[in-house]
Amino acid sequence: MANVTLRNVRKTYLGGFEAIKGVNVDVADGQFCVLVGPSGCGKSTLLRMVAGLETVTGGEIDIGGRVVNQIEPADRDIAMVFQNYALYPHMSVFNNMAYGLRNRGMAEAEVKSRVEEAARVLELSAMLERKPRQLSGGQRQRVAMGRAIVRQPKVFLFDEPLSNLDAKLRIAMRVEIRKLQRRLNTTSIYVTHDQLEAMTLADILVVMNGGQVEQVGNPLAIYEKPATTFVASFIGAPPMNLMSTRADEIKSQLGGSAGEAGILGIRPEDFVITDQTPSGGVAMSLTVEAIERVGAETFVYGAREQEDQRVAATPGELPPGEVIVRIPGTDAPAIGQKIRVAAISSKLHLFSGDGRKRIEA
Amino acid sequence: MVEQEGIRRYVAHIILWIGIAIVAFPVYIAIVASTQDNALIANGQMSLLPGGHFFEVYYQTIFVGTSGSTREPVANMMLNSLIMALLIAVGKIAISIISAYAIVYFRFPLRMPIFWLIFITLMLPVEVRIYPTYKIVADLNMLDSYAGLALPLIASATATLLFRQFFMTVPDELLEASRIDGAGPLRFFWDTLLPLSRTNMAALFVILFILGWNQYLWPLLITTRDDMQTIQVGIRKMITTTDALTEWPIVMATAVLAMLPPVFVVVAMQKLFVRGLVETEK
C-alpha cells in the first residue's frame, strides 16, 4: 500500500528531445490512476520511469514516501503488466508467476500457495503446467496479471495491457481488472490511449499531450468541465464539437456571455433537434450529410450553413463547419435534410481563442 | 505442394533418383571397397558387389591400423577427432554466445569498435594466419595436445553474429520483465536467454561439429605424434605413393568410419531443428 507522487518529473533524451516536460501527479493510496493521451504524448515513457525502466532526468518520483529515482526496478516494490505480456516463453504458467518470487528467495511452499491463490482468482488453475504459446490471448493476459499480483507489490503498473485483445474480450478484461484492483486495493497506474477505458477505470484521470499534463481529476469532472480544447475533443466519443465564436450565427446568440472566449464547444449528446432556441442557449441550422446508426443511438453528421475559421484542436478533430449530433434511437432525419439543433446554456463550453484555457461563463 | 498428375510426376521422380544416385554412388563404392580383398582392388578387378571381408577389414582398421605407413588404430584417431571437434563446437558456442550477450545487452566504451573487430576476423581464416598462429601455439608448448588442436579454432565471428542477430529479435520487454522480477544480468542470461537460444545452439552445434571434424590443415601442422593424429590426417597418411602398396580396403573403411559421427550428429539433432522451426514464439 502506497501513494505515488510525481514532482516536476522530466525526461530529456540524449539528443535533446524532451519527452516529459515537468509532470506533477499525486496518486493516493489504493487509487486507480489512468494516464491517457494520443500516441507519442509520453504516457508510456512516464509509466516506464515510475517502473525504473527509464532514467529520470529531472524531478522526483516518490513511491510510499521514498524517492525511487536511483532505485532498481526490482527494489521499487512495483509490478508491471506489459502490452505484449512479456511472458517467459520457455516457462510454464506456474513458473512464469513463480519466477519473481523465487528470485527474491521466497520459500517454495509460500511460492506455491501464492501462485495457486492467484491462479484461482484468475481462473488459471487448470493451466498451470501449460506454456504461454498454448494459451489464448486473454489467458496470457491473465497470466501477466497473475505475475503481477503474486508479488503483492505496493503499486501495479499497466502499460496498455488490453490493446492486444479483441474488442469483446477487452471490455470483459477491463471489468475484471477494475474488480481485482478494488479487491486488492493496490495503488495502480494504467496507461491507455483508449478514452473509454480511461473513463471507466479511473479514480483519477491524467490527460496528457506532448509530454505535458493537460488536466488531472475525476473522470466525470473532466468530462463535464474539460480544461482545454484538447481535453474536450479527446475525452468523449464522438468528440466535442468545437466552433469559433466569431461566426456570425453564434456570435449573435452568445451575446455578451462570449466575453474573451474564442471557441465554443458543445458535446454531440447535448444537442437536441428542435425548432426552438432555448434562452441563453445556442441553436444552429445543419444540412445532414451522413448518418451512423449504432442501435441504441444515432450520430448525425451535419454541415453548418456558414463556414467558419478552422478551430485548433488536434485529436479527433472535425473538419471545419462539421457538427456531430447524437440522438437516441434510430429515428434519424434523411440525408440532405435541413435540421435545426440547439443546446441549453449549461451545456456550453467556452475556451480561450488558443484553446488552452477554459472560460466559465 | 501442388499435386502433379501423371507423367510429370514420374519425370520429377526420375530426376530426383538420378541426383541421389550421383551423390550416393561414391559412398557405395567406398563401402563396397572396404569389404574386398586388397589384391583384387590393386589389380583393378574390384567388384561392384560387396565382398566377404567386412569383419576382418573393419577389425583391423579400428583396432590395429594399416600394416605399412602409419600403424595407428583408427579408433584412436576417431577419439582424437571427436575430442577436437567437440572442443571446437562447444568452445565456439560458449565464447560466441557470451560475447554476443555483451555486445547486445551492455553499453560499454568501444562497444561498436569491438563488434567490428570481431566482424573483421571473418576475413582472417586459419589458412591466412597459419604461421603466426602456429608460432604462438608452439611457444605455448601446445603442439601435440588437444588444447593446441582446438583453442586456435575456437574464436568465431560467425557464431557471434548469429547469436547477436537472434538476441536482437528477443523482445526488450522480456529483459524488462526480468529486471522487475529481480533477475540480474547473469540470471537473465541463464534463466531466459540460454533456454530461448537452445534451438540456435543445436543448429550451430551441428555446423560447427562438422567443421571441426573436417579440419585437415591445422591438425596436420601441429600434430607430429601418431597417437595425436586425427582421422582426416590419418586417411591421407594411409595412401602411400612410393614403395608400399596402399591398403585400399582399410583406407575405404576409414573413410566410411570418418563419415559416421557427422551423420550421427545431423540425424540426432534433426529433431531439435524441426522443433525449433515449429516453435516460432519468442
**Residues A190-232: pLDDT tens digits?**
999 988 899 999 999 999 999 999 999 999 999 999 999 999 9
HSE, CB side, 13 Å, CA atoms: give it for residue B177.
28
For an interface test with B, give the residue of A96, A99, A152, A156 to mutate (most B CBs within 10 A): A99
Who wins on pLDDT, B244 or B104?
A: B104
Which member of A82, A89, A103 has the closest CB to residue B282?
A89
Judged by a CB distance cut-off of 8 A, whether residue A78 touches chain B is yes
The alpha carbons of chain B give a radius of gyration, in whole angstroms, of 24
**What average pLDDT score do residues A128-137 get?**
92
pLDDT tens-place string over residues B87-134: 999 999 999 999 999 999 999 999 999 999 888 888 888 888 889 999
pLDDT tens-place string over residues B196-214: 998 888 888 988 999 999 9
Mark yes or no for CB contact A82/B177 under 8 Å: yes
Distance CA B218, CA B134 (A): 9
**What average pLDDT score do residues B128-156 get?**
90
The alpha carbons of chain A give a radius of gyration, in whole angstroms, of 24
Mark yes or no for CB contact B171/A133 under 8 Å: no
Using an 8 Å CB-CB cutoff, list chain A residues near B191: 88, 99
Residue B282's pLDDT band, with cuts at 50, 70 and 90, is very low
pTM value is 0.82
Mark yes or no for CB contact A90/B183 under 8 Å: no
pLDDT for the residue B168: 93
SS3 string, A76-102, reads CCEEEECCCCCCCCCCCHHHHHHHHHH
8 Å CB contact between B251 and B235: yes
Using an 8 Å CB-CB cutoff, list chain A residues near B176: 51, 53, 73, 80, 82, 86
Q: Is the pLDDT score of A315 beyond 50?
A: no
| Rounded alpha-carbon distances, angstroms, from residue A95 to A104, A117, A127, B14 | 14, 14, 12, 53
Residue A66's pLDDT band, with cuts at 50, 70 and 90, is very high
pLDDT for the residue A256: 65
Strand A18-27 and strand A4-12: the pairing is antiparallel
Sorted by sequence, the CB contacts under 8 Å of residue A62 that are 6+ apart come out as A3, A4, A5, A6, A7, A68
The position carrying cell 482545454 is: A228
Residue A319's pLDDT band, with cuts at 50, 70 and 90, is low
pLDDT for the residue A143: 94
Q: Is the pLDDT score of B157 beyond 90?
A: no
| Closest C-alpha to A323, from A253, A239, A252, A254 | A239
Residue B19's pLDDT band, with cuts at 50, 70 and 90, is very high
In the predicted model, what is the mean pLDDT of chain A? 88
**What cell numbers appear for A72 in the block?**
532498481
User: What's the ipTM?
Assistant: 0.83
Using an 8 Å CB-CB cutoff, list chain A residues near B186: none
Mark yes or no for CB contact A51/B180 under 8 Å: yes
Give percent above pLDDT 90 in chain B: 45
Helix (H) or strand (E) holding A285: strand A282-293
| Closest C-alpha to B95, from B172, B175, B201, B215 | B201
Who wins on pLDDT, B67 or A270?
A: A270
Which member of B173, B181, B192 has the closest CB to residue A100?
B181
Distance CA B191, CA A215 (A): 43
| Rounded alpha-carbon distances, angstroms, from residue A331 to A266, A286, A338 | 22, 17, 15
Q: Is the pLDDT score of A114 beyond 50?
A: yes
**What average pLDDT score do residues B81-91 get?**
95
pLDDT tens-place string over residues A136-163: 988 999 999 999 999 999 999 999 999 8
Mark yes or no for CB contact B191/A147 under 8 Å: no
Residue A355's pLDDT band, with cuts at 50, 70 and 90, is confident
| Closest C-alpha to B202, from B123, B274, B257, B147 | B274
pLDDT for the residue A270: 93
The position carrying cell 488453475 is: A125
Helix (H, G, I), strand (E, B) or coil at A159: strand
For residue B173, give how far its alpha carbon lies from the nearest alpha carbon of chain A (Å).
Answer: 5
Q: Is the pLDDT score of B70 beyond 80?
A: no
Distance CA A254, CA A256 (A): 6
pLDDT for the residue B129: 86
SS3 string, A319-331, reads CCCEEEEEEECCC
Who wins on pLDDT, B191 or A316?
A: B191
Q: Is the pLDDT score of A169 beyond 80?
A: yes
For residue B191, give how far its alpha carbon lies from the nearest alpha carbon of chain A (Å).
Answer: 9
Mark yes or no for CB contact A133/B281 under 8 Å: yes
CA closest to B198 among chain A residues: A90
Mark yes or no for CB contact B182/A104 under 8 Å: yes
pLDDT tens-place string over residues A294-310: 888 999 998 887 655 44
For residue A350, give how far its alpha carbon lies from the nearest alpha carbon of chain B (Å).
Answer: 44
Residue A36's pLDDT band, with cuts at 50, 70 and 90, is very high
For residue B166, give how far its alpha carbon lies from the nearest alpha carbon of chain A (Å).
Answer: 15
Mark yes or no for CB contact B181/A132 under 8 Å: no
Q: Is the dihedral of CA B112, B115, B120, B121 positive or negative?
A: positive
pLDDT for the residue A103: 93
**What average pLDDT score do residues B9-36 get?**
92
Who wins on pLDDT, A169 or A191?
A: A191
- Count chain A–chain B contacts defined by CB atoms under 8 A: 61
Mark yes or no for CB contact A90/B196 under 8 Å: yes
**What cell numbers appear for A264 in the block?**
465554443
For residue B174, give how far its alpha carbon lies from the nearest alpha carbon of chain A (Å).
Answer: 5
pLDDT for the residue B16: 96
Distance CA A38, CA A193 (A): 6
Least confident of A212-221, B35-44, B74-83: B35-44
Residue A254's pLDDT band, with cuts at 50, 70 and 90, is confident
Mark yes or no for CB contact A103/B182 under 8 Å: yes
Using an 8 Å CB-CB cutoff, list chain B residues near A100: 180-182
Give the DSSP letter of residue A282.
E
For residue B169, give how far its alpha carbon lies from the nearest alpha carbon of chain A (Å).
Answer: 13
Who wins on pLDDT, B152 or A252?
A: B152
Judged by a CB distance cut-off of 8 A, whether residue A122 touches chain B is no
HSE, CB side, 13 Å, CA atoms: give it for residue B121.
17
**Phi/psi class of residue A123: alpha, beta or left (left: φ > 0; alpha: ψ in -120 to 50)?**
left
Buried b (16+ CB within 10 A) or exposed e, B131-165: eebbeebeeeebbebeebbbbbbbebbbbbbbbbe
Judged by a CB distance cut-off of 8 A, whether residue A73 touches chain B is yes
| Closest C-alpha to B175, from A13, A86, A178 | A86
pLDDT for the residue A147: 94
Mark yes or no for CB contact B176/A104 under 8 Å: no
For an interface test with A, give the residue of B170, B175, B180 to mutate (most A CBs within 10 A): B180
pLDDT tens-place string over residues A332-347: 888 889 999 999 988 8
Q: Tell me how many degrees the CA angle A346-A350-A352 measures, rounded to the nearest 5.
A: 165
Judged by a CB distance cut-off of 8 A, whether residue A86 touches chain B is yes
Q: Is the pLDDT score of B71 beyond 80?
A: no
Phi, psi of A345 (to 5 degrees): -65, -35
**What average pLDDT score do residues B32-48 get?**
82
Which member of A78, A84, A103 has the closest CB to residue B187?
A103
pLDDT for the residue B225: 87
pLDDT for the residue B281: 46
Q: Is the pLDDT score of B276 beyond 80?
A: no
Residue A89's pLDDT band, with cuts at 50, 70 and 90, is very high
Rounded to 10 degrees, what is the CA torsion of A164, A165, A167, A169? -160
Which member of A78, A86, A104 has the closest CB to residue B177?
A86
8 Å CB contact between A1 and A78: no
Using an 8 Å CB-CB cutoff, list chain A residues near B173: 82-84, 86
**If you write DSSP's letter for every residue of B75-102 in order, what string do you get?**
HHHHHHHHHHHHHHHHHHHHHHHHHHHH
Q: Is the pLDDT score of B2 beyond 60?
A: no
Q: Is the pLDDT score of B44 beyond 90?
A: no
Name all domains of chain A by residue range, CATH numbers in brackets. 4-229 (3.40.50.300), 238-359 (2.40.50.140)
For residue B90, give how far its alpha carbon lies from the nearest alpha carbon of chain A (Å).
Answer: 23
